[in-house]
């Protein structure tokens, strides 16, 4: 989809679908303006439909007009309480209302109610992401019609607007890559195809790639990670992608993603409503970091070196699979009693976090579909995150807020650490059920060098949306890409001043 700016006001625009944001009570007088432009009596029609401009309302009508065939009206709520998420919702609704029409979509929203560059970027992202449609696995893909051009209307053209909009495609491409990786079935996305995807990003966008094979991981003593894939026919792939800025580096950060391409639970098999058939999405963390790397590689932020790590594998069962009760040793020497083979994500992340710490970064953020407990706590619209560093917490909260992704800080409650005590080994991999997402975070903490800023994000709920919401069609959401990209790009030296 081509995105452009047009200083034309809505009443002067010609194209195919005109989508117009109406604030409550229409203080801007758009409705009379449209009545005049198209010679229609809109007010009564809207009254019949009970459209008054409340937030989330939307209605559309076909016009017999060569300069505009469809008018979409989007409620934005009261003018003084319009926020950036309102722009996302309205833009996504406009995109859906424009399906079946080719040509151009003109979008006119009250940009001035917030920062116009931010509002326009958010709206343009939302249009593209709402139109995303995955037909890769259909034998006969359907021809899907939607406007090929998006025109953002009504703001004077400027360089800053132009450059803000330049980020829309790279960011959306990252989100779409993440959605594709998550939605693809586990016989299609495997540890080695994940490594291939990383190689493709590296080749196309100039990143460095290193893939550690099983023997390399053995040599590094990654006994925790390797225990998870003992029962799988697929070789593990430990993927390390690096973005280096062209100029000097002032910050080095590491993004770590959980990359279980399938999680059967192992001998603690997922039974009785444990959603085993959905466990292709257990590589959602790796999809988020791969997607973010794709975006970052295109955006090329200054001054920040970004490493991406994914300890990818499958959690399966055969005669070599890990037994519940096995004791394994992670690459930092910590011994772990695996009292539950279904708590495998943290076993893979443990060795990845040790490796991340060895890169001596300024900060590490890991992202993982780690616990059902986090879904119980926060549902599927909000991810949980844990960090003991308040400035990192603030930075992630603002990155997520700007991205329109729900993120809520959870407590790193040290007293629960005792739930991970083992009689024999240094640690067990699971504690009691209550507070399960907190003990998972405390388990991970054991593998991060304590002087390094670190945050853990649990996306078990947000990785997938059954019904879809706003700019997310039903299915894989690509959650985390936008937050991570915002966070990384906010670390460039210019951004700090």
Residues 424-463, interacting with ligand BES (CB under 6 A): 430, 436, 460
Burial class (CB within 10 angstroms; exposed 0-12, middle 13-18, buried 19+) of 117: middle
The verdict on 116 binding Zn ion (CB under 5 A) reads: no
Name which of Zn ion, Mn ion, ligand BES, none residue 190 binds, using a CB cut-off of 5 to 8 Å depending on partner kind. Answer: none
Nearest to 227 by CA among 316, 310, 355: 316
**Stretch of residues binding ligand BES (CB under 6 A), selected from 22-30, 175-183, 364-372, 478-486:** 364-372
Binding-residue pattern over the window 329 to 348 for Mn ion, x denoting contact by CB under 5 A: -------------x-x----
The verdict on 348 binding ligand BES (CB under 6 A) reads: no
Pick the closer one to ligand BES by CB: 116 or 266: 266
C-alpha separations of 392 from 12, 157, 364, 389 in Å: 46, 35, 10, 5
Of residues 37, 128, 270, 428, which has the active-site annotation? 270
Contact 205, 296 (CB under 8 A): no
Choice from 155, 180, 263, 351 touching Mn ion (CB under 5 A): 263
Name which of Zn ion, Mn ion, ligand BES, none residue 375 binds, using a CB cut-off of 5 to 8 Å depending on partner kind. Answer: ligand BES
C-alpha separations of 217 from 156, 174, 213, 225 in Å: 56, 28, 6, 8
What CA–CA distance (Å, rounded) separates 361 from 357?
7
The verdict on 458 binding Mn ion (CB under 5 A) reads: no
Name which of ligand BES, Zn ion, Mn ion, none residue 86 binds, using a CB cut-off of 5 to 8 Å depending on partner kind. Answer: none
Contact 311, 259 (CB under 8 A): yes
Q: Closest separation between CB of residue 278 and Mn ion, Å?
A: 12
What CA–CA distance (Å, rounded) separates 303 from 244?
8
Choice from 24, 151, 155, 263 touching ligand BES (CB under 6 A): 263
The residues near 418 (Cβ < 8 Å, ≥ 6 apart) are none
Is 270 catalytic? The answer is yes
Contact 231, 257 (CB under 8 A): no
The verdict on 378 binding ligand BES (CB under 6 A) reads: no
User: 279-292 in b/e burial notation, b at 16+ Cβ within 10 A?
Assistant: bbbbbbbbbbbbbb
Contact residues: Zn ion, CB under 5 A:
260, 263, 282, 345
Contact residues: Mn ion, CB under 5 A:
263, 342, 344
Contact residues: ligand BES, CB under 6 A:
263, 275, 282, 340, 342-345, 369-373, 375, 430, 436, 460
């Amino acid at each position: 989809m081509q995105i452009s700016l047009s200083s034309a006001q809505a009443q002067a625009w010609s194209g195919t679908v005109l989508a117009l944001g109406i604030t409550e009570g229409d203080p801007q007088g758009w409705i009379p303006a449209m009545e005049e432009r198209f010679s229609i009596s809109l007010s009564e029609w809207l009254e019949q439909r009970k459209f008054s401009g409340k937030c989330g309302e939307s209605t559309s009508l076909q016009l017999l007009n060569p300069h505009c065939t469809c008018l979409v009206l989007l409620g934005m709520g009261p003018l003084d309480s319009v926020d950036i998420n309102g722009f996302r919702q309205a833009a996504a609704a406009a995109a859906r209302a424009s399906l079946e029409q080719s040509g151009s979509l003109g979008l006119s929203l009250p940009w001035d109610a917030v920062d116009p560059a931010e509002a326009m970027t958010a709206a343009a992202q939302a249009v593209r992401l709402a139109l995303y449609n995955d037909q890769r696995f259909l034998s006969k893909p359907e021809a899907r019609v939607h406007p090929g051009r998006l025109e953002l209307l009504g703001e004077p053209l400027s360089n800053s607007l132009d450059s803000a909009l330049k980020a829309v495609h790279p960011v959306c491409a990252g989100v779409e890559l993440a959605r594709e990786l998550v939605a693809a079935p586990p016989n299609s996305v495997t540890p080695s195809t994940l490594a291939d995807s990383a190689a493709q990003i590296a080749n196309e966008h100039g990143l460095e790639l290193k893939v550690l094979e099983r023997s390399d991981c053995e040599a590094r003593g990654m006994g925790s990670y390797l225990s998870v894939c003992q029962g799988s026919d697929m070789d593990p792939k430990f993927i390390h992608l690096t973005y280096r800025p062209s100029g000097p580096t002032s910050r080095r950060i590491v993004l770590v993603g959980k990359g279980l391409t399938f999680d059967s639970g192992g001998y603690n098999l997922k039974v009785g409503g444990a959603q085993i058939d959905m466990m292709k999405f257990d590589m959602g963390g790796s999809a988020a970091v791969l997607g973010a790397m794709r975006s970052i590689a295109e955006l090329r932020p200054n001054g920040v070196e970004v490493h991406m790590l994914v300890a990818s594998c499958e959690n399966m069962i055969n005669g070599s699979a890990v037994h519940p009760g096995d004791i394994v040793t992670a690459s930092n020497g910590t011994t772990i009693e695996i009292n539950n083979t279904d708590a495998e994500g943290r076993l893979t992340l443990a060795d990845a976090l040790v490796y991340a710490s060895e890169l001596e970064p300024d900060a590490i953020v890991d992202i993982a579909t780690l616990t059902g407990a986090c879904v119980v706590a926060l549902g599927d619209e909000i991810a949980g995150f844990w960090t003991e560093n308040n400035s990192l917490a603030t930075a992630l909260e603002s990155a997520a807020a700007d991205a329109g992704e729900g993120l809520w800080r959870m407590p790193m409650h040290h007293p629960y650490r005792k739930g991970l005590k083992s009689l024999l080994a240094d640690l067990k991999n699971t504690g009691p059920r209550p507070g399960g997402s907190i003990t998972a975070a405390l388990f991970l903490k054991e593998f991060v060098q304590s002087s390094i800023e670190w945050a853990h994000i649990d996306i078990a709920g947000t990785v997938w949306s059954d019904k879809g919401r706003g700019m997310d069609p039903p299915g894989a959401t690509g959650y985390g890409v936008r937050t991570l990209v915002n966070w990384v790009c906010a670390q460039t030296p210019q951004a700090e001043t």
